[in-house]
Amino acid sequence: MNRRNFLKNTGCLAIGFSLNGSFIDAPAPLFQELPQSIKRHPNINAWLEVLANGQIRIFTGKLELGQGIGTAIAQVAAEELDFPIKSVEVVLADTARTPDEGYTVGSGSIEQSAMAVRYAAAAARQKLLELASHQLSIPIDQLTITDGKICTLSGDRAVTFYQLLNGKQITDKVQSPVILKPKDKYKLVGKAIPRNELYRMVRGDEYYVQDLRFPGMVYASIVRPPAYEAKLLQLDEKALLKSNPGVLKTVVNGNFVGIIAREEYQAIKAQRWLQQNSKWSAGTRLPAGTDLIAYLKSLPEQPDEPGIKGTMPGDDANWIKAQYFKPYHMHASIGPSCALAIYDNGQLHVWSHSQGIYPLRNSLSKLLQLPTEKIHITGVPGSGCYGHNGADDVAADVALLAMAYPGKHIKLQWTRADEHAWEPYGSAMIMEAAAVLDSSGKISSWKYDLWSDTHSIRPGGEANNLISAQSLATPFKAKQGHGGGAARNSEPYYTIPNQLIKAHIFQGPLRASALRSLGAYANVFAIESFMDELAEKAGKDPFTFRLAHLSDDRAKAVIRKVQEITANVTLPANTGLGIAFSRYKNSASYCAVAAQVFVQPEKGTIQVQKMWAAIDSGEVINTDGVINQTEGGMIQSASWTLMEQVKYDAQHITSRDWASYPIMRFDQVPEVEVVVIAQPNEKAMGAGEAAQGPAAAAIANAVYKACGKRIRHLPILDHLMKS
Per-residue pLDDT averaged across 605-632, rounded? 96
For 329-355, how does the pLDDT look when each residue is reduced to its tens digit (9 = 90+)?
Answer: 999 999 999 999 999 999 999 999 999
Is pLDDT above 90 for 292?
yes
Is pLDDT above 60 for 24?
no
The pLDDT of residue 7 = 25
Instruction: Count other Cβ atoms within 10 Å, centred on residue 157.
Output: 13
Integer Cα distance of 492 and 445 in angstroms: 12
Mean pLDDT of the chain: 92
The pLDDT of residue 31 = 60
Q: Are the beta carbons of 545 and 496 closer than 8 angstroms? A: no
The pLDDT of residue 220 = 98
Q: Are the beta carbons of 341 and 376 closer than 8 angstroms? A: no
For residue 682, the 8-state DSSP code is S
Question: Beta strands 13-19 and 5-7: pairing type?
Answer: antiparallel
The pLDDT of residue 696 = 98
For 435-486, how does the pLDDT look when each residue is reduced to its tens digit (9 = 90+)?
Answer: 999 999 999 999 999 999 999 999 999 999 999 999 999 999 988 777 789 9
Integer Cα distance of 122 and 180 in angstroms: 6
Integer Cα distance of 686 and 580 in angstroms: 19
Percentage of the chain beyond pLDDT 70 is 95
Instruction: Give strand ranges (E) for 369-491.
Output: 375-379, 410-413, 429-437, 443-452
Per-residue pLDDT averaged across 665-672, rounded? 96
Per-residue pLDDT averaged across 342-370, rounded? 97
Instruction: Count other Cβ atoms within 10 Å, centred on residue 263.
Output: 12
Predicted confidence band of residue 4 (pLDDT cuts 50, 70, 90): very low
The pLDDT of residue 42 = 96
Is pLDDT above 70 for 5?
no
Give the residue ranges of DSSP H helices in 320-465: 357-368, 391-404, 416-422
Predicted confidence band of residue 723 (pLDDT cuts 50, 70, 90): low
The pLDDT of residue 46 = 97
Predicted confidence band of residue 118 (pLDDT cuts 50, 70, 90): very high
Query: Domain residues of the chain, as ranges?
Result: 5-189, 210-282+331-422, 429-720
Of the candidate ranges 65-74, 593-602, 616-625, the one whose mean pLDDT is the lowest = 65-74
The pLDDT of residue 385 = 74
Instruction: Give strand ranges (E) for 574-626.
Output: 575-583, 590-600, 605-616
- CA atoms within 13 Å, Cβ hemisphere of 685: 24
Q: Residue 708 contacts by C-beta under 8 Å, 6 or more apart in sequence?
A: none
Predicted confidence band of residue 202 (pLDDT cuts 50, 70, 90): confident
For 637-654, how does the pLDDT look when each residue is reduced to its tens digit (9 = 90+)?
Answer: 999 999 999 999 999 999
Contacts for 128-136: CB closer than 8 Å, 24+ residues apart: 128/161, 128/164, 128/170, 129/17, 129/18, 130/1, 130/2, 131/164, 131/165, 132/159, 132/164, 133/2, 135/159, 135/164
Question: Beta strands 279-280 and 232-234: pairing type?
Answer: antiparallel
For 510-544, how does the pLDDT look when each residue is reduced to its tens digit (9 = 90+)?
Answer: 999 999 999 999 999 999 999 999 999 999 999 99
The pLDDT of residue 19 = 41
Of residues 302 and 39, more confidence is placed in: 39
Angle at 23 between CA 21 and CA 27, to 5 degrees: 135
Integer Cα distance of 559 and 570 in angstroms: 19
For 235-255, how does the pLDDT look when each residue is reduced to its tens digit (9 = 90+)?
Answer: 999 999 999 999 999 999 999
Check whether domain 210-282+331-422 has CATH 3.30.365.10, yes or no: yes
Q: Radius of gyration over alpha carbons of the chain, in Å?
A: 28
Please tell me the class of the 429-720 domain.
Answer: alpha beta
pTM recorded for the entire structure? 0.93
Of residues 273 and 109, more confidence is placed in: 273
Q: Are the beta carbons of 585 and 559 closer than 8 angstroms? A: no
The pLDDT of residue 29 = 47
- 88 dihedral zone (left: phi>0; alpha: psi -120 to 50; beta): beta
Instruction: Count other Cβ atoms within 10 Å, centred on residue 550.
Output: 16
> What is the CATH code for 5-189?
3.30.365.10
Q: Do domains 5-189 and 210-282+331-422 have the same CATH topology?
A: yes
Is pLDDT above 80 for 13?
no
The pLDDT of residue 299 = 96
